[in-house]
Structure 1
């Protein structure tokens, strides 16, 4: 297989291609370089007759803490998106739909933190299985904007989505399964085994039929307006970037660095980097 710098690709069981985000020292922050390798690997697997299912997970202590705030996301984007206002949220949404539109099913295996862009990536997958103690959320609503990929109301309904959007709080893996973000949650020590079991089960159905099964569900969601709604959400994300709050936070990121800015953002909420443990 092709050598990669930011992902690991393997075939853990027959007909299953696994892609591991491999920037553990950066909590698998989604730089454009990593995203480029990820999309290329997914699309290569979609063309590979030996592959029936793709599996996406993260190396190290978490799935992904989100987009790489230390890099310029307008540079070296892995595929072309028209420039101008809202380029980045439109680019993110187009990336999520690239996963949505693959012929073969994609499964997300989520442990640890799954935040901001990491939660958007997981939400774009066809099946999502999470560790009971995973932490899933979009804390960027506190300081920057709503999600680029506005999946929350579609997956979880208006009330739960509104609570998450108005607080930036995270939910546990167990809560994520209960409210519809994930299919199921498992204890972290058996998550991988259970996900591989499910991937092998999905892979039993031939791909020529399975791609139609997958699209049958998607077409119903599209008929209800999901694709158009998410695209509209991208425009609202772009609008949020012009607010005084967002401009001030971006200035903090540049002046104080990512760690200090995020710590300051979450300090009054007592979570994220400022969460207290029972040993404190």
Structure 2
């Protein structure tokens, strides 16, 4: 698999550019190399006059299990350093996607966890498989999310429950609560996303850009952009807690064992008995 590209590009329909995270053996864990290639491909699609809509999906069994905890690598673009750098970097990446002219559709199946859920949030539309699982288990032992979007999409009560438990929700629940637009049976997800992309591509691209910005501007007027940026400071504080320091010590002894220890108490994620 080492010689395989980690990001695939194709065009499933006229005016549609599709980007596929291609680390299926790692559950599409988001290394910084993959993130860098993704940002470059998104920007290239945004500049291409033949592209009107972008689709983002994952190869293999899931969309993305989150950031690559075994080794992220060098940041794909500069973000001011010191405390909170990583969370600021993630939020800046989200807004890079928001600020593109072309609409981005997230096609989510399987695991959509932690950084994977943050990547899906950065998309303008999300369509999800009914049996997908969305969650942020890192809040159990590491820190609050890098990008604290859950209350904005799901409201205070649902967002609070997910943040206090680290539990995951199904694709059906994700659509009901507002994380996704609609949920489909897995075998219907891809054709549904392609059909929606083709429908959006019929709209004049200049108008589509304005319509996309209109929705974002309303969210920003309510404080979303400022709120997400403020959340990066809380994320930085989390790394100084006793629980986080102890968990990171376990991680240095082995990532899989540390994750199993974290989730075995709850009986979910990789430790769930089928």
Q: TM-score if structure 2 supplies the norm length?
A: 0.98
Aligned to 1:208: 206
SS at match of 1:190: helix
Q: Distance in 1 between matches of 2:237 and 2:159?
A: 20
Aligned to 2:45: 45
- Cα displacement (A) at 1:5: 2.5
Summarize the alignment of residues 92-171 of structure 1 with structure 2, pairs less than 5 Å apart.
92-171=90-169
SS at match of 2:102: coil
- Cα displacement (A) at 1:4: 7.9
Runs of 5+ in structure 1 lacking a partner? Answer: none
- Cα displacement (A) at 1:103: 0.5
Aligned to 1:263: 260
Summarize the alignment of residues 185-264 of structure 1 with structure 2, pairs less than 5 Å apart.
185-255=183-253, 257-264=254-261
Runs of 5+ in structure 2 lacking a partner? Answer: none
The partner residue of 1:272 within 254, 269, 272 is 269
Q: Distance in 2 between matches of 1:25 and 1:251?
A: 25
Mean Cα displacement is larger for which, 75-84 or 169-178?
75-84
> When the two structures are aligned, how many residues end up with a matched partner?
272
CA RMSD after TM alignment: 1.0
- Cα displacement (A) at 1:276: 1.1
Q: Distance in 2 between matches of 1:84 and 1:271?
A: 34
Q: Distance in 1 between matches of 2:17 and 2:84?
A: 33
Q: Distance in 2 between matches of 1:268 and 1:234?
A: 28
Q: Distance in 2 between matches of 1:136 and 1:202?
A: 26
Q: Distance in 2 between matches of 1:139 and 1:177?
A: 19
SS at match of 2:10: strand
SS at match of 1:157: helix
Summarize the alignment of residues 15-30 of structure 1 with structure 2, pairs less than 5 Å apart.
15-30=15-30
Q: Distance in 2 between matches of 1:232 and 1:251?
A: 28
Q: Distance in 2 between matches of 1:62 and 1:4?
A: 18
Q: Contact 1:112–1:135 at 8 Å: present in 2 too?
A: yes
- For residues 107-159 of structure 1, give each alpha carbon's deviation from its aligned partner in whole angstroms, at most 9, with x where no partner exists: 00000000000000001100000000000000000010111111100000000
- Cα displacement (A) at 1:235: 1.1
Q: Distance in 2 between matches of 1:138 and 1:196?
A: 28
Q: TM-score if structure 1 supplies the norm length?
A: 0.96
Q: Distance in 1 between matches of 2:76 and 2:112?
A: 22
- Cα displacement (A) at 1:76: 1.7
- For residues 17-55 of structure 1, give each alpha carbon's deviation from its aligned partner in whole angstroms, at most 9, with x where no partner exists: 000000000000000000000000000000000000000
Moved over 4 A (4+): none
